[in-house]
Amino acid sequence: TDKYPHINRGLDGIIAFSSTKSAIDGEKGELNYAGYNIDTLAENASFEEVAFLLWNDRLPKADELEELNKQLRAERDLPEPVLEYIRTTDKNAEPMSVLRTATSMLADFDDEATDNSPEANMRKSIRMTARMPAIIAAFSRVRDGKEIVAPLKEGSIAYDFLYMLNGERPGEKAEKVMDICLILHAEHGMNASTFVCRAICSTESEIYSGVTGACGSLKGPLHGGANTAVMNMLLNLDKDADVEAFIRERLAERKKVMGFGHRVYRTIDPRAKHLQKMSKQLAEETDTVYLYEWSDKIQQVMKDEKNIDPNVDFFSATVYYSMGIKPDLFTCIFAMSRVTGWTAHFMEQAENNRLIRPRQLYVGEKNQPWTPIEKR
Ligand code: SDX
């Protein structure tokens, strides 16, 4: 690779688009969504308000928020064939794959699927945001041998999601924690899945394809799949494990420690600060303090050894685990939030589109003589 220094591996530092959706200051560790600091939003907003903000570049007025909530509640039911797919697919399938496939299927039952007008794109964004939680909850129940729970079509996305997942109404605290997690994951600049979504938009394809492709990108362990990998790493440790030695050994073998590092941040991810606080509180309340202590130790070793800080996926893992959520659903929860950012970017790209088509450097042979097959 050093032979071709002009190739920008991983498109590091390349500015490919302009956007009003979010700003990341990697040196300061600061994140804004459409003009609002993530700290301000985590403390004051609801996830639905954040969705409106990302889609419209401004906060909603009371009647606008009420109208959006009404639409998000009304659109939670899944078409019967999608439910049938969830009931009949392999119980051992990866939940993110099921979410990707079912999201793609939703297009077949949407009369507006191929309508690329801004108005139809807005309605489809609301529909996908409303339905993805129902897909995740339904598959989680089916694979556990339980009946699918229909949405209440009441309350927030966080509330109805936890109800569909567990079959009982969540408490105020659980709903609040989930809502903050959704706010923190909603949008993050030109990350890999958002780039994929914009690339799909650039061919004048439609928004279900954009979100389906983005799901496929998010589930990789270098991106949103890291939260599941973090939890699996923690759960694979013995209760009396020497966590410090374990991490040092991993680093010595040049293996990645999941949930750490970021292409843009040179300091702690501001989202991780909120998640760390919640992780600590929940660990104390649910008798999993050892998990928080391990996380704390891992954070110290990573700082001392590599000067690398946690990203959004590190503490979200223990937050969800303390809420009784299975590790392989963590990335799905990331997706049911990020769908708002993906769709916001899709609509922004569509407003001022040009086909995304970079170049490659060809490094093979050319114009070779033809060798008959028996002589090769
Ligand atoms: C998300 O882009 C986004 O905004 C994504 C995201 C979003 O909201 O959309 O923030 C969500 O995807 C968070 C990231 C989740 N991924 C992980 O936690 C996986 C572990 N992290 C890494 O693999 C890595 O840090 C990446 C993939 C996140 C970033 O990769 P880069 O920018 O290509 O960095 P790199 O792999 O080239 O690492 C640079 C150096 C290397 O050391 P040297 O070879 O220079 O000595 O840092 C080291 C790496 O080995 N390093 C790590 C490490 N992360 C970086 N070493 C050990 N463990 C790590 N986690």
pLDDT tens, 100-117? 999 999 999 999 999 999
Contact between 213 and 200 under an 8 Å Cβ cutoff? The reply is yes
Residue 309 known to be catalytic: no
Average pLDDT over residues 141-156: 98
Quick check: CB of 260 below 6 Å from ligand 1?
A: yes
Quick one: which of 71, 213, 200 has its CA closest to 130? 71
Sign of the CA dihedral running 316, 318, 323, 325? positive
Closest CA to ligand 1's atom 44: 254
Sign of the CA dihedral running 164, 166, 168, 170? negative
Supply the pLDDT for residue 353.
Answer: 98
Is the pLDDT at 4 greater than 90? The verdict is no
Residue 274 known to be catalytic: no
Q: Classify the complex by whether its ipTM is higher than 0.85, answering yes or no.
A: yes
Q: How many helices and strands, by DSSP H and E, does the chain display?
A: 16, 3
Closest CA to ligand 1's atom 1: 223
Which residue do the tokens 């990697």 mark?
26
Domain edges within the chain: 20-219+328-351, 226-322
Round to whole Å and give the CA distance between 121 and 199.
16
HSE (CB half, 13 Å, CA atoms) of 250? 16
| 20-219+328-351 topology per CATH | Citrate Synthase; domain 1 (1.10.580)
Average pLDDT over residues 16-45: 98
**Given this chain, do its domains 20-219+328-351 and 226-322 carry the same CATH topology?**
no
Query: DSSP secondary-structure letter at 21?
Result: S
| DSSP SS3 for 36 | strand
Average pLDDT over residues 147-156: 98
Closest CA to ligand 1's atom 15: 223
Round to whole Å and give the CA distance between 303 and 288.
23
Is the pLDDT at 185 greater than 70? The verdict is yes
Ligand 1 center to 10 CA (angstroms)? 11
Closest CA to ligand 1's atom 18: 259
Contact between 321 and 327 under an 8 Å Cβ cutoff? The reply is yes
Round to whole Å and give the CA distance between 84 and 353.
37
Residue 37 has φ and ψ, to the nearest 5°, of: -60, 140
How many residues are present in the chain?
Answer: 376
The per-residue pLDDT for range 62-113, each reduced to its tens digit, is 999 999 999 999 999 999 999 999 999 999 999 999 999 999 999 999 999 9
> Does the reported pTM lie above 0.90?
yes
Round to whole Å and give the CA distance between 278 and 330.
16
**Which of 25, 215, 256, 331 to mutate for ligand 1's pocket (most ligand atoms within 8 Å of CB)?**
256
Is the pLDDT at 290 greater than 80? The verdict is yes
Quick check: CB of 266 below 6 Å from ligand 1?
A: no
DSSP H/E element including 231: helix 226-235
| 226-322 topology per CATH | Cytochrome p450-Terp; domain 2 (1.10.230)
pLDDT > 70: what percent of the chain? Answer: 99
Q: Where are the beta strands (DSSP E) in the chain?
A: 22-25, 30-33, 36-37
Query: DSSP secondary-structure letter at 232?
Result: H
Q: From the candidates 185, 188, 262, 274, which is the catalytic residue?
A: 262
Q: Residue 86, class by beta-carbon neighbours within 10 Å (0-12 exposed, 13-18 middle, 19+ buried)?
A: buried
Supply the pLDDT for residue 161.
Answer: 98
Which residue do the tokens 């509180």 mark?
281
* Bridge partners (DSSP) listed for residue 260: 310
* Bridge partners (DSSP) listed for residue 30: 25
Quick check: CB of 257 below 6 Å from ligand 1?
A: yes
Ligand 1 center to 263 CA (angstroms)? 6
**Which of 217, 250, 260 to mutate for ligand 1's pocket (most ligand atoms within 8 Å of CB)?**
260
| DSSP SS3 for 151 | coil
Round to whole Å and give the CA distance between 53 and 55.
6
Quick one: which of 114, 152, 116, 115 has its CA closest to 133? 152
